[in-house]
Amino acid sequence: MASEHDRLKDFLIDAAMLLHRYGTPSHRLERTMTKVGTALGCDSVFLYTPTALVISITIDGEESTVVRRVDSGEVHVDKLLCTDDVLDRLEQKEITIEEARKQLSEIDRAPPLFPFWVYAFACAAGCGSLAVLFRGRPTEVLAASAIGFGIVVFEKSQSWLGQDRSLLLPVSGFAAAIVSLAIAQFVTPIDHRLVTLAGVIILIPGLSLTVAMTELAVGHLSAGVARLAGAMVSLLTLFFGAAIAWRLAESWRQLPIKPVAAEITAALPPSWVVQWAALLIAPIAFAIIFQARIAQWPVIIAVSIMGIATSRFVNPYYGVEVASFTAALVVGCGSNLYARLRNRPALIALTPALIVLVPGSFSYRTLNALMDHDTIAGVELGFNTILIAMCLVGGLLTSNAVVPPKRIM
């Protein structure tokens, strides 16, 4: 029969692993779990990295250290919200440890909020919306959406077949590049590199890069370095597949264009209408991708539009660096204000809104320029990528000082 101390220790370990699995950043996970441990009457230390948890728990002078190997998952907004609510009620002594553990188990076993077809179309809509924001033409938007949809189907088929996900990035990069080239040469003229970038944008680890920079900025060096290295390797692996396709299909660029589908230009709304439609669709798409409930969509849309509109307004006057800082500041303040007013985690609005601002496209274009032997442009783009990421981090950290968050999450 497990003692009360053993049950407490097991609960803290399980709760930390679940927060890890749902994509919680290191500085938020460690502070949250330390606060929970203190409320339950024990001293605890949590060390987080994207692939492991080191937990030290001291109860009545007896210390025990546990190491767990856990793969960091994608951000799951709804499960983070539910888990944070359970932990908060446990801290307030409204439920017991056994009740909390049972509820956390139910949360973990809960099916996705949206069926697969909704998730797949959301990914396609996200890719198409970003193609619009990249100033893509209608055929380029359609091509990017189709590629994004195909990548999601391929990812799901790997899961169904129980295959290793290590092939997802190179195969997706190769497929996106080869399909874009094929469309450009045999169907209708398009910017195949823009379509490739927009089609794989959901796989580009721009958010991981920004989170890594945040962790480094707040002193979580082990987690920040590990996440940064993982993001860079993921980007290189994705680009490797695209580079192979470009080399294998080099001869296609020499073939005459044989258009069989004309560019759709008639009866299209003005460009500013299309841009604002994309600004509205993109947050909804990423809200679905991050598994946020419909009740959270209004605040996600509002915070996202404020961030993007701020960036676009400031950029022509003060440059991309100030625009990124100001946009992140607005997004952070908006998310923290929502967290204070509704007593909800700021991550609910912050993560989907931030994904549109992260410099994922810059990192991809950096490798693109280097592959074309344009070293100066590649180095410049790479520097801009790091600079923009740090500006976003600075804006987020400043927002915590301007509007202090009520909840750690």
For 90-112, what is each residue's pLDDT tens digit?
888 888 888 988 999 999 888 88
- Band of pLDDT at residue 175, cut at 50, 70 and 90: very high
What burial class does residue 138 get, using C-beta atoms within 10 Å of its C-beta: 0-12 exposed, 13-18 middle, 19+ buried? middle
Question: CA geometry: angle at 293 spanning 290 and 294, to 5°?
Answer: 120
Lowest mean pLDDT among 134-143, 170-179, 374-383: 374-383
pLDDT in tens, 280-337: 888 899 889 888 888 889 999 999 889 888 888 898 888 888 888 999 899 999 998 9
First to last CA, the chain: 34
* Domain regions of the chain by residue span: 4-109, 116-269, 292-409
Is residue 403 over pLDDT 80? yes
47, 39 contact by CB (below 8 A)? no
Name the pLDDT band for 179 (thresholds 50, 70, 90).
very high
Mean pLDDT of the chain: 82
Percent of the chain predicted with pLDDT > 70 = 88
What is the 3-class SS of 17-69, one letter each residue?
A: HHHHHCCCCHHHHHHHHHHHHHHCCCEEEEEEECCEEEEEEEECCEEEEEEEE
Among residues 278, 383, 388, 399, the alpha carbon closest in space to that of 349 is found at: 399
Per mean pLDDT, which range of 54-63, 172-181, 334-343 is the poorest? 54-63
Q: For residue 112, what is the enclosing H or E element?
A: none
Q: What is the pLDDT of residues 183-205, one digit of tens each?
A: 888 888 888 888 888 888 888 77
Quick one: pLDDT at residue 151? 92
Taking CA atoms, 49 is separated from 21, 67, 232, 234, 272, in Å, by 11, 11, 16, 17, 43
Which residues does 217 contact at the CB level (< 8 Å), separation at least 6? 224, 390, 393, 394, 397
- Which of 84, 145, 166 has its CA nearest to residue 285? 145
Work out the average pLDDT over 54-61: 80
State pTM to two decimals. Answer: 0.84
Q: CA-to-CA distance for 225 and 111, rounded, in angstroms?
A: 33
- Burial environment of residue 14 by CB neighbours within 10 A (0 to 12, 13 to 18, 19 or more): middle
Alpha carbons 331 and 25: distance in angstroms, whole number: 17
pLDDT tier at 275, thresholds 50, 70, 90: confident
Beta bridge partners of 279: none
Contacts of 59 (CB under 8 A, 6+ apart): 5, 8, 9, 41, 42, 43
Q: Are 290 and 351 in contact (CB under 8 A)?
A: yes
Q: Report the distance separating Cα 149 and Cα 152, nearest Å.
A: 5
